[in-house]
Chain A
Amino acid sequence: MSLAAFFERLDRRWIYVIMALMVLVPLLWPLNLPLEPSPPVRAYHDVIAALSPGSTVLMSCDFDPASRPELEPMTRTTLRQLFRQHCKVVVVVLYPGGARLVDEIVQEVARENRQVEGVDYVNLGYKAGNEAVMVLMGQSIAGTFPRDYNGRDVTGLPIMQSVRNYSSCALLVSLSVGYPGTKEYVQQVQGRFHIPVIGGVTAVSAPTLYPYLQTGQLSGMLGGMAGAAEYEDLRFERGMASRGMDAQSLAHLFIVLCIVLGNLAQWERKWKETA
């Protein structure tokens, strides 16, 4: 039987079974394949590492549970690095379905690092308005978010006493799944308010952000689960992203094999048709 005929008869469910095994097996029995942090990931890490203690960082977490596997690990690791450097973290959410999830992550990492809510960090919650909210924060963050996620008046919180607008922040960290997200922060905020921006994004949106990385508009970037795993590696952590990378690598190898075999089958068919 020819390769083309074999693939035409092959039940596609066998491909699903093999793909499932490629993911399941390394999750249960890790291979610990090596990871080498890429320059954008190193830049992301180094920008945070260069912050002085006490600096205020605005962290926009614009994602929902659908992109959790990629963005939750980078959110956790970023928060840990910021807290361990004694930075003040102001969290905002511009993605409607993400406020609860983001709050869970922030509270958990803050508890783990013994940070005091309202003093060392604050979650201002979700605000509708996309780019309009980004621009409004340039005038006043407290005016844009009068109440935090728990409904408290933000003007009474100690952390907000020194936070007026972007000029009060040493860095903007944008962790986003799509629109509104890192691209919009670069367009609306980075150039206009002259604040350094670093971004953590899903792998799907990473290619669209490389031009901003090249021009320096984006000072560092984590792209997808691989970016999150490389960042964990730099921080000497073994989180969910690092544990998923063996499965990611094997699944990619299987997809490459499928593409190569599919092309061979097509060439074989064309060769037989012309012969």
Chain B
Amino acid sequence: MSPHLSPELGVWVAAALTLCIFSFLYRENPFYRFAEHLFVGVSAGYYIVLNFWTVLVANLWDPLAAAFNRPQGSPFAAHLGDYRAFLLLPALFGLLLFSRFVPRFAWVARWSLAVIIGVYAGLKTTGFAQGDFVAQVHGSIQPLWTGHWGSSINAWIFTIGLVASLLFFYFSREHKGALGSASRVGVYFLMISFGAGYGYTVMSRISLLIGRFQFLLFDWLGLR
């Protein structure tokens, strides 16, 4: 196993910045600060440029320019199925958001926010109703005897866990007696789910570390 250092400048810059960030594990230092500030600045610039070209130009400017450069007829050609000129309306709502910079007219921004909140509330409500509420309630109603011991035990564990966890979140009565016992069982189920969530989170974070080490070892140092 011998090193074959990468000839690419970009790989060297990325490797140097990775080592700068890792240096924080030893202690706070100027190299870490430099990499951190550089990342924040570059990210901000990158996302501004990205949003300008992929949102403003692609979704607003180009369709508007095409609509107003129609060879014939009015740009407002909804009767022909061309709604592009009506993008002036969302553009206006977008501009109104900037009225918050002028305190006297700040209230106008609420119109835009009302549209954004209204649209997303509608989308989320229908999505939640279809994808979560109805389908999950339907999926939770299971036969407790399936004809096989293994799946039947699973169904019992699932049903007990579901009912006990729901009872834990019932706050209209003090958790004493039968309700207290059931909610305590619910806590155990919740703890197991938190443990599984923690395990998955650890796996995700270790994956990121592995990804960086693979980059340093294989892409930068060329150890194969």
Contact = CB atoms under 8 A, between A and B. Distances in A.
Contacts of A186: 131
A27 B212 CA distance: 12
Interface residues of B, number: 45
Interface string B162-189: 0000000000000000000000000000
A190 interface: yes
A99 interface: yes
Contacts of A187: 127-128, 130-132
B82 to A, nearest CB: 12
B131 A147 contact: no
Contacts of A223: 200
Interface in B183-213: 193, 196-197, 200-204, 206-213
Interface in A180-223: 183-184, 186-188, 190-192, 202-204, 206-207, 211-212, 214-217, 223
A202 B204 contact: yes
Contacts of A69: 207-208, 210-212, 214
Interface in A48-94: 66-70
A170 interface: no
A244 B214 contact: yes
A159 interface: no
B203 A252 contact: yes
B1 interface: yes
Given A23-B209, A23-B213, A244-B210, A70 B131 contact: no
B47 A188 contact: no
A188 B203 contact: no
Contact of A211 (B134, B139, B206, B213): B139
A228 B155 CA distance: 29
A275 interface: no
A234 interface: no
Contacts of A192: 126, 130
A147 B66 CA distance: 14
A43 interface: no
Contacts of A252: 202-203, 206
A158 interface: no
Contacts of B214: 27, 69, 240, 243-244
Nearest to B59: A128
B208 A97 contact: no
B203 A203 contact: yes
Interface stretch (B50-58, B71-79, B98-106, B145-153): B50-58
B8 to A, nearest CB: 14
B12 to A, nearest CB: 17
A121 to B, nearest CB: 21
A217 B131 contact: yes
Nearest to A224: B203
B203 A28 contact: no
A203 B204 CA distance: 5
Contacts of B208: 66-67, 69-70
Given A97-B50, A128-B59, A131-B123, A203 B131 contact: no
B120 interface: yes
B13 interface: no
B54 A128 contact: yes
B95 interface: no
B174 to A, nearest CB: 30
B211 A215 contact: no
B169 to A, nearest CB: 16
A39 interface: no
Nearest to B201: A204
B117 interface: no
Nearest to A69: B211
Nearest to A71: B207
A6 interface: no
Interface of A: 13, 16, 19-20, 23-24, 27-28, 66-70, 96-97, 99, 125-128, 131-132, 135, 147, 183-184, 186-188, 190-192, 202-204, 206-207, 211-212, 214-217, 223-226, 240, 243-244, 247-248, 251-252, 255
